[in-house]
Amino acid sequence: MRSTFRTPGGVTLGIEHFGDPAAPLVVLAGGTTMLSWPDGLCEALARGGRHVVRYDLRDSGASTTADPEAPEYTLRDLAADAAALARGLDGRPAHLAGIGVGGMVAQVAALDHPDAFAALTLAGTRPVAPGPVDDDLPDHDAATMRRLFSAPKPDWSDRSAVGEFAAAGAEVLGDDPAAARAKAERVFDRTPGTEPAIQLANQLGTVFARLDCAPRWRERLPELTLPALVVHGRRNPFFPVGNGEALAREIPAARLLVLEDASTAIPESAAEQVAAAMLAL
For residues 150 and 205, give the distance between their C-alpha atoms in angstroms, rounded to a whole number: 15
Residue 155 in any domain: the answer is no
Sign, CA torsion 240/135/225/36: negative
For residues 108 and 220, give the distance between their C-alpha atoms in angstroms, rounded to a whole number: 9
Sign, CA torsion 20/26/29/31: negative
The whole domain housing 244 covers: 2-141+195-279
- How much is the pLDDT for 162? 87
Residue 162 in any domain: the answer is no
Alpha helices in 22-141 (DSSP H): 39-47, 75-89, 101-112
CATH, residue 125:
3.40.50.1820
Q: Residues 6 or more apart from 160 whose CB is under 8 A from it?
A: none
For residues 232 and 124, give the distance between their C-alpha atoms in angstroms, rounded to a whole number: 5
| 3-state helix, strand and coil shares in percent for the chain, rounded to the nearest 5 | 40, 15, 40
- How much is the pLDDT for 154? 87
Residue 98 in any domain: the answer is yes
CA atoms within 13 A on the CB side of 170: 22
Residue 130 in any domain: the answer is yes
Residue 46 in any domain: the answer is yes
The total of structural domains in the chain comes to 1
- How much is the pLDDT for 210? 84
Residue 37: phi, psi to the nearest 5? Answer: -95, 120
Residue 264 in any domain: the answer is yes
- How much is the pLDDT for 38? 97
Ranges under pLDDT 70 in the chain: 192-207
The one-character DSSP state at 119 is: E
- How much is the pLDDT for 209? 78
Its pTM stands at 0.95
- How much is the pLDDT for 200? 58
Residue 57 in any domain: the answer is yes
Residue 186 in any domain: the answer is no
For residues 52 and 170, give the distance between their C-alpha atoms in angstroms, rounded to a whole number: 27
Stretch (H or E) spanning 49: none
